[in-house]
Amino acid sequence: MNDATHSTTLTHDFDIARIRADFPILAQRIRGKKLVFLDSAASAQKPRAVIDAMRNAMETQYANVHRGLHWMSERTTDAYEAVRDAIATLMNARDRSEVVITRNVTESLNLMAHSYGRGVLQPGQAVVISAMEHHSNIVPWQLLRDDRGIELRVAPISDAGELDMDAFEALLADGKVGLVSMTHMSNVLGTVTPAERIVRIAHAYGAKVLFDGAQAVVHRRIDVQALDCDFYAWTGHKLYGPTGIGVLWGRRELLDRMPPFLGGGEMISSVSYEKSTWAEVPHKFEAGTPPILEGIGLKAAIDYVQTIGYQAIAAREASLVDHALARLDAVPGVRILGRAQDRGGVVAFALDKAHAHDVATLLDRQGIAVRAGHHCAEPLMHRFGLESTARASFGIYTTHEEIDFLADALARVREFFT
């Protein structure tokens, strides 16, 4: 199998050579070997457009935003605020004020646990997560539970790695659940959760729904109005943007009811020692100097992704995943975690003869970058009886040949440890 056949039969409008040329880092060699970067789910590489946008800003048009009455500040404010419009359009938000800019998805989820959890939910209510969350969507709710007596319930998953919908609904049946906070795509199993069904069920029992879309937003277009969810969180650096910028989208009427998260400049309307008043949403949640350059970079990343188009990205990714499952299944001793019907471009696996860390070190020596460990999802690893796995994850620049290379290398790794 080679890329040419795939690109003609499956993803005819996907010019992989041109896309790869957009990512300067892919030309790097690792220990004399071609870089095979299969760790995009941890953080994706950056296209030239993002690099240039951030550099141009620093070289030609940079100042602090929202406060300077000078030309540079006003121009920088416009450039920075443009990312809010781009995000609102990308997610089909009703209004740009529904887009809160944070530092990363972890901060978005902590903002929710703090402001919604402590400000809107009441002791005695419950929050539901799933058994395939990463630590960022577990720990903030544990802190909330211990602080406020808000119960934390965990919806189980099947051996295939799919949400058990009956069990999920049963968790909501007593009407105590105020919020469902769930991954839209597992960073380990690749499972895409049935978001519309989750929302329908949750709303039927009076619960709001927050999706952790850190992985999902990379692989498919998120339309918050079509999903009918209440909150949606994601992060820029996995979508080919810079680190240090995240997103929390929320329904305006809910954001209005939530108290602030961090206090400081930018989030106030007026300050006195007796009493301060808060700025309007979304600035109420955006204390301090925002990630200005990161916003400019993320705007370029969103534009870049939309130029390629989610339809083409999704078709390409489906082809890569099918290919990876077929090739890795054919390697003796490889066990793939998760067999969800609807899944995205991450494949976690264990090798019978070698620990994941040894696998990663040997792959690294061949120029192949994979993640190894518990993927910040320890409870999920234990659900499958493992301490750690290796994980290959794909970006828009990943090729079928790179997956072939991984499969061949894994066979050699196994021989080495046999």
Partner 1 sequence: MTADTFDDLRDLYQEVILDHGRHPRHAHRLESFDASAKGDNPMCGDRIEVWVKLAPDGSIADTGFDARGCAISVASADLMAETVKGRSKADTQALFEAFRAMARTGTCPACDAALAGPLERLQPLAGVHEYPSRVKCATLAWHALIAALAGGKEATSE
Single residue of 198, 362, 368, 390 touching partner 1 by CB under 8 A: 362
Residue 366 binds partner 1 (CB under 8 A): yes
Residue 224 and residue 260: Cα distance in Å, rounded? 23
Residue 270 tokens read as 């007026």
Single residue of 128, 354, 392, 396 touching partner 1 by CB under 8 A: 354
Residue 357 binds partner 1 (CB under 8 A): yes
Count residues near partner 1 (CB under 8 A).
21
**Nearer to partner 1 among residue 194 and residue 333 (C-beta):** 333
**Nearer to partner 1 among residue 65 and residue 413 (C-beta):** 413
* Shortest Cβ 369–partner 1 spacing (Å): 13
Residue 208 and residue 178: Cα distance in Å, rounded? 6
Residue 106 binds partner 1 (CB under 8 A): no
**Nearer to partner 1 among residue 112 and residue 368 (C-beta):** 368
Can you give the length of the chain in residues? Answer: 418
Single residue of 169, 358, 401, 404 touching partner 1 by CB under 8 A: 358
Cβ atoms < 10 Å from Cβ of 209: 22
Residue 415 tokens read as 């021989």
Distance of CA 329 to the CA centre of its chain: 26
Residue 93 and residue 101: Cα distance in Å, rounded? 14
Which residues inside 378-417 make contact with partner 1, applying CB under 8 A? 378, 381, 387-388, 409, 412, 415-417
* Shortest Cβ 156–partner 1 spacing (Å): 22
Residue 150 and residue 144: Cα distance in Å, rounded? 7
What is the contact mask toward partner 1 in residues 298 to 337, using x (rule: CB under 8 A)? ----------------------------------------
Residue 123 tokens read as 């002791």
Identify which range of 36-44, 137-145, 322-330, 365-373 contacts partner 1 by CB under 8 A. 365-373
Single-letter code of the amino acid located at 400: H
Single residue of 355, 379, 401, 404 touching partner 1 by CB under 8 A: 355
Q: 347 - beta bridge partners? A: 392
**Nearer to partner 1 among residue 71 and residue 416 (C-beta):** 416
Single residue of 373, 379, 384, 404 touching partner 1 by CB under 8 A: 373
* Shortest Cβ 415–partner 1 spacing (Å): 5
Residue 142 binds partner 1 (CB under 8 A): no
Single residue of 121, 233, 267, 372 touching partner 1 by CB under 8 A: 372
Cα→Cα distances 34→1, 27, 185, 413, Å: 20, 8, 30, 18
Residue 29 and residue 43: Cα distance in Å, rounded? 19
Identify which range of 83-91, 96-104, 209-217, 367-375 contacts partner 1 by CB under 8 A. 367-375
* Shortest Cβ 35–partner 1 spacing (Å): 17
* Shortest Cβ 135–partner 1 spacing (Å): 11
Single residue of 356, 396, 403, 406 touching partner 1 by CB under 8 A: 356
Q: Is the peptide bond before 282 cis (omega within 30 degrees of 0)?
A: yes
Kindly write down the DSSP assignment for every residue of 337-363, as one continuous string.
E---SSB-SEEEEEETTB-HHHHHHHH
**Nearer to partner 1 among residue 176 and residue 374 (C-beta):** 374
Residue 230 and residue 180: Cα distance in Å, rounded? 10
Sign of the Cα torsion 315, 320, 321, 322 reads positive
What is the contact mask toward partner 1 in residues 13 to 32, using x (rule: CB under 8 A)? --------------------
Residue 352 binds partner 1 (CB under 8 A): no
Residues with a catalytic annotation lie at: 376
**Nearer to partner 1 among residue 303 and residue 378 (C-beta):** 378
Contact 50, 266 (CB under 8 A): no
Contact 73, 64 (CB under 8 A): yes
**Nearer to partner 1 among residue 216 and residue 351 (C-beta):** 351
Residue 326 and residue 1: Cα distance in Å, rounded? 12
Produce one character per residue of 225-241: b if its CB has 16 or more CB atoms within 10 Å, e if not.
Answer: eebebbbbbbbbbbbbb
**Nearer to partner 1 among residue 164 and residue 358 (C-beta):** 358
Residue 46 tokens read as 């950056």
Instruction: Give the chain's end-to-end CA distance (angstroms, integer).
Output: 28
Residues that bind partner 1 (CB under 8 A): 354-358, 361-362, 365-366, 372-374, 378, 381, 387-388, 409, 412, 415-417
